[in-house]
Amino acid sequence: MTAPTASPLVVVDIGNTRLKLGVFEGPSGTPLPLPKGTLSIAHDWQAAEVDAFLPHPVPHYRWVICSVNRPACARLVDWLRKRGAEHVWEMEYTDLRVTADVERPDYVGIDRLANVVAVNRIRPASEPAIIVDMGTALKVDLVSATGSFAGGTIAPGLEMSARALHEYTDLLPLIEVTEPETALGKSTVEAMLSGLYWGAIGAVRELAERIVPAGSDPEIILTGGTGTLFAGALESHSARPPQFVPHLTLAGIAIAAGAGETA
């Protein structure tokens, strides 16, 4: 059940490691709806974190949730019910009203499809687009010229790769990935930084080139938690600089929920 569309909206994108919340209140006057505020919290979040983020009590909002993590989604929905929320919508892929030209559309991560909804608002008409989502997983997806999800690729994200190097070896430390000063590492940490950072850049370039339809020059949309780390490097090696949209998934969910009409 959903509330009237005039009610303020809280969009929740539940990923594999974190929850991202965005509050949407009325038209933004831009092609994509813009959240009035956002919050990113771990799966073991505390109620006080959400309460401190929201300007009004939980029941004041209609809640729209897209999730790729069932236990985390169940915990949030149970909490919302206990706090008196009456309008909670757990979206399924069909609610996004986007076509998916793949074997099992219902198996596609709903966050990937929400990204397509948003990109269809901003890509040039009748042109394909590439979505590079740099979150827990590194995803490079193709939106067709007609606006369908045409498929894509999934690889380990930066944090996952860094953790794997640490946990599957005896001596490599756990590091936070930043842009390395040089590609040639002169220490273990420098070598790890270079391999992780430039390896991800190389993967994005190669994958994007291989999935692009012949003869097309698609818009490249970059999003995800570590997207800002790569925007400059990708821009300097691209004939068509990528557009960084930090809240792409939240915007796509909001559009599907009926929010985000331009003023």
- Positions annotated as catalytic residues are 111
C-beta of residue 68 within 8 angstroms of C-beta of residue 109 = yes
C-beta of residue 234 within 8 angstroms of C-beta of residue 223 = no
Residues contacting residue 168 through CB under 8 Å, at least 6 positions apart? none
C-beta of residue 134 within 8 angstroms of C-beta of residue 222 = yes
Three-state DSSP class for 142?
A: strand
Q: How far is CA 54 from CA 28, 31, 210, 247, in A?
A: 19, 25, 43, 18
How far apart (Å, rounded) are the C-alpha atoms in residues 195 and 212?
25
